[in-house]
Amino acid sequence: SAIALTANILPVFEQLGIYEEVKSLSLPLASLDMFDTKLNNLGSIDGQDHRRMPKLYDLLRRQVPPHKISFGKKVLRNKEHENKVTVYCSDNTVYDCSILVGADGAYSAVRQNMYRKLEEEDNLPLGDKEAFTIGYINMVGISIPLHPERYPELSETHRNHFRVVVGDKNDSCHAITVPGNQICWGIQVQLPEDEAKEQHFRNSEWGPEAIDTMLKEFEDFPCAFGGTMKEIFDTTPRNLISKVFLEEKVFQTWYYGRSVLIGDACHKLLPGGGQGAIMAMKDAVVLANCLYNMTDKSEESIKKAFASYYRQRYLEAEDMGKESATFTKIMYGH
């Protein structure tokens, strides 16, 4: 769908020399406007810049030499030695490295392996044993280029529009105009805790039929740019629709031995604050700086670098988790 980039991360793109190109992929957002299902305005929040995620992803990927990226890898386990860590993947490939960075998402295999070892040593905090807090089911997508005559807001090339329609059954939808005459959209349903836990383990909720069912439930929802959401759904390629649980949890343990976590692997935030991706990027920047300052690759130096990274990032992640939960409740919940 779309990603919000704010002042706390933009200097990184300047340092990488790609700020102007990032800027060309985006439109500044004047405000986030919220409506009820009769399109009565409920209020507005001052905005930020929004980029299309696929375009930003392609730009960032181009900054890394192709030979340094391997696709289709799934980490099964890792084993630490005196001066290295060995990573075993599902395709039978094996990698030896000085450190292992778990940037593998909310269900991080690196974190699971790390916590298994800590639990065997009886050193895993009780809070890290608890499951995610699950509150919402979310589906997002991005349309093909649409005609400005149908959606006049698309003709405003100097800014974009972010509009949320809040339903009366713990549901909501949002739509965002982005460069290229496209509309990024999302639909959300807030779940009771018992139902959320039940659906989390139902594989049927993630197949094509489940996607169709959820789209059907929202097709008559009013689109704040005009018409209904069905019109937006029908112009969205199937491969650009994703369904996810909106979960939250800030883990207490971010590193162990030669392994360290960043992004959703150590702090999964709800999306209302628009800070999940930004927090992951800031993790990467701080960790890179800590590693750069290492004098050698010894386990002691690695431990000091990881500890410094943790000190700089944990409290902000904890605070942002609370803020994101509040904003998500305002935008999507009741």
Residue 301: pLDDT band (50, 70, 90) is: very high
Query: Domain ends where: 215, 247, 279?
Result: 247
Instruction: Please enumerate, as own/partner, the contacts of 234-241 that have beta carbons within 8 Å and a separation of 24 or more.
Output: 235/143, 235/144, 235/146, 236/141, 236/142, 236/143, 236/144, 236/185, 237/144, 240/54, 240/141, 240/142, 241/139, 241/140, 241/141, 241/211
| pLDDT average, residue stretch 12-26 | 89
Whether 130 shows a pLDDT value over 80: the answer reads: yes
| Whether 223 and 264 share a structural domain | no
Q: Which residues pair with 97 in a beta bridge?
A: 85
Q: Is the pLDDT of residue 290 over 50?
A: yes
Local confidence band at 331 (pLDDT 50, 70, 90 cut-offs): confident
Considering only the C-alpha atoms of the chain, give the largest distance between any 2 of them, rounded to a whole number of Å: 65
Q: Do 203 and 148 share a structural domain?
A: yes
Residue 298: which domain range? Answer: 81-125+252-332
pLDDT of residue 267: 97
239 and 185 in a common domain: yes
Write down the pLDDT at residue 182: 94
Mean per-residue pLDDT of the chain: 88
Query: Which of the pair, 315 or 161, is modelled with greater confidence?
Result: 315
Residue predicted with more confidence, 254 or 325:
254
Inside any domain, residue 7: no
Highest mean pLDDT range out of 26-30, 36-40, 85-89, 160-164? 85-89
Cα gap 153→225, rounded to integer Å: 7
Considering Cα of 53, then 313, then 136, then 326, what sign does the dihedral take?
A: negative
Confidence of residue 203 (pLDDT cuts 50, 70, 90): very low
CATH number, residue 199: 3.30.9.30
- Give the model's pLDDT for residue 23: 84
Residues 98 and 237 placed together within one structural domain of the fold: no
Say whether both 144 and 184 belong to one domain.
yes
Task: Indicate if the pLDDT at residue 289 is higher than 90.
Answer: yes
pLDDT tens for 28-85 read 777 788 899 999 988 887 655 555 567 888 888 999 999 999 998 999 999 998 889 9
> Are 38 and 173 contained in the same domain?
yes
- Give the residue with greater pLDDT, 1 vs 59: 59
The total number of structural domains in the chain stands at 2
